[in-house]
């Protein structure tokens, strides 16, 4: 067995989701070559080389990869994939954009959003917003998987660095061009990998209340801020804070749901959290069915008290 794993990174550092994917790959076993696709990515390659479980780092450094365009990256991954039994990426917006394109180029079906590795060709993944779990067998000659980061711990750095080798770029396919990006930079932990998350729902009533009640509590807990789709649609919070089936899927140690009704599509994104705490004025709110600890109370009354007491 040999695994090609696609790294994901921002300007300065490897994403935690890639470390989770490396953990999943380690459960499959065999050599793990991690491919860094980018431009001037030496520093990222060196970070990857230190991670426990990595056999080799491959670097494709080219202007065509300056931005993560699937049209350019997919042929590169395809060119390398035939030497491997598995090609793996995190089920992030990056991995989900890229890997299905690679799969079609290789003429194979793939398995997305894997939450559990049973053996080298058998995995568990959710269906119907996590209401069901499917066990899936992949008998393709090259098995492509995206790994849901919340299902696996992040691989840690080891005591030494493995070798870094260059691979040939496959050029600019001239199908797409990057124009710009707006990435939220924040002092707060990243939503997808935060240990603690405070999430606000529509009951907060306005963007001002969302900010004035959720942000202080998140600050005190050193938590990332999440939002329900209803709160995002109402304009209380930006879309990148959305937790749920169609937003970010999270599984923190502690998830604090404030004024969250508990719609199925939201629960799909947080029900794997270790501890769920819910505060809602409605005693019949669905969220209490998922909460380890629930408090029926007026948000506007209790939230300042909680923030002050921590």
Partner 1 sequence: MKVLVGIKRVVDHNVRVRAKADGSGADIASAKMSINPFDEHAVEEAVRLKEAGVATEVVVVTTGAANAQDVLRHALALGADRAILVETAEHLNSLASAKVLRAIAKREAPQLILIGKQAIDDDAAEVGQMLAALLNVGQGTFASKLTIADGKVTVAREIDGGQETLELNLPAVITADLRLNDPRYIKLPNLMLAKKKPLETIALADLDVNTASKVATINVAEPPARAAGKILNNVEELIEILHAQVKG
Which residues in 225-255 are b (16+ Cβ under 10 Å) and which e?
bbbbbbbbebebbeeebbbbbebbbbbbebb
Residues 74-103 contacting partner 1, CB under 8 A: 74, 92-94, 96-103
Q: Which is nearer to partner 1, 55 or 265 (CB)?
A: 265
Q: Which residues from 132-171 bind partner 1, rule CB under 8 A?
A: 132-140
Q: Which stretch, 24-32, 39-47, 199-207, 249-257, contacts partner 1 (CB under 8 A)? A: 249-257
Q: Per CB under 8 A, does 39 bind partner 1?
A: no
Phi, psi (degrees; rounded to nearest 5) at 166: -85, 150
Applying CB under 8 A, among 1, 43, 127, 168 the residue interacting with partner 1 is 127
Beta bridge partners of 258: 200, 279
* Chain Cα centroid distance, residue 245: 12
Q: Which of 38, 192, 200, 226 binds partner 1 (CB under 8 A)?
A: 192
Neighbour tally for 180: CB within 10 Å: 4
Rg of the chain, C-alpha, whole Å: 21
Provide the minimum distance between the beta carbon of 297 and partner 1 in the complex, in angstroms, as a whole number: 6
Q: Which stretch binds partner 1 (CB under 8 A): 27-35, 45-53, 108-116, 158-166?
A: 108-116
Determine the size of the site formed for partner 1 (CB under 8 A). Answer: 85
HSE on the CB side for 309, CA within 13 Å? 5
Helix (H, G, I), strand (E, B) or coil at 30: coil
Tokens 């980061």 belong to residue: 149
211 binds partner 1 (CB under 8 A): no
**By CB under 8 A, which span of 27-35, 56-64, 154-162, 183-191 interacts with partner 1?**
183-191
DSSP 121: T
Structure-block tokens of residue 259 = 């004024």
**Which lies closer to partner 1 via its Cβ, residue 46 or residue 97?**
97
Q: Segment near partner 1 (CB under 8 A), from 30-38, 58-66, 81-89, 173-181?
A: 173-181
DSSP symbol at 159: S
């Amino acid at each position: 067995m040999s695994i090609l794993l696609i790294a994901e990174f921002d300007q300065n550092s490897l994403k935690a989701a890639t470390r989770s994917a490396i953990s999943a790959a380690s459960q499959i076993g065999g050599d793990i070559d991690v491919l860094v696709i980018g431009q001037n990515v030496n520093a990222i390659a060196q970070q990857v080389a230190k991670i426990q479980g990595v056999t080799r780092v491959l670097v494709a450094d080219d202007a065509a990869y300056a931005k993560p365009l699937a049209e350019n990256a997919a042929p590169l991954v395809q060119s390398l994939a035939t030497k491997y039994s598995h090609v793996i990426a995190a089920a992030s917006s990056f991995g989900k954009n890229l890997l299905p394109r690679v799969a079609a180029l290789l003429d194979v079906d793939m398995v997305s959003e894997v939450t559990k590795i049973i053996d080298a060709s058998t995995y568990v993944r959710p269906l119907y917003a996590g209401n069901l779990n499917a066990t899936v067998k992949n008998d393709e000659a090259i098995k492509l998987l995206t790994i849901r980061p919340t299902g696996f711990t992040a691989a840690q750095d080891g005591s030494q660095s493995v070798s870094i080798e260059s691979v040939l770029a496959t050029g600019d396919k001239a199908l797409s061009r990057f124009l710009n990006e707006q990435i939220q930079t924040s002092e707060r932990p990243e939503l997808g990998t935060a240990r603690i998350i405070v999430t606000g729902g529509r009951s907060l009533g306005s963007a001002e209340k969302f900010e004035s009640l959720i942000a202080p509590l998140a600050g005190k807990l050193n938590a990332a801020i999440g939002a329900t789709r209803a709160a995002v649609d109402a304009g209380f919070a930006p879309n990148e804070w959305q937790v749920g089936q169609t937003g970010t899927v999270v599984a923190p140690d502690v998830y604090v749901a404030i004024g969250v009704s508990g719609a199925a599509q939201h629960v799909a994104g947080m029900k794997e959290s270790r501890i769920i705490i819910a505060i809602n004025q409605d005693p019949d709110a669905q969220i209490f069915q998922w909460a380890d600890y629930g408090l029926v109370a007026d948000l506007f009354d209790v939230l300042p008290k909680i923030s002050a007491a921590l």
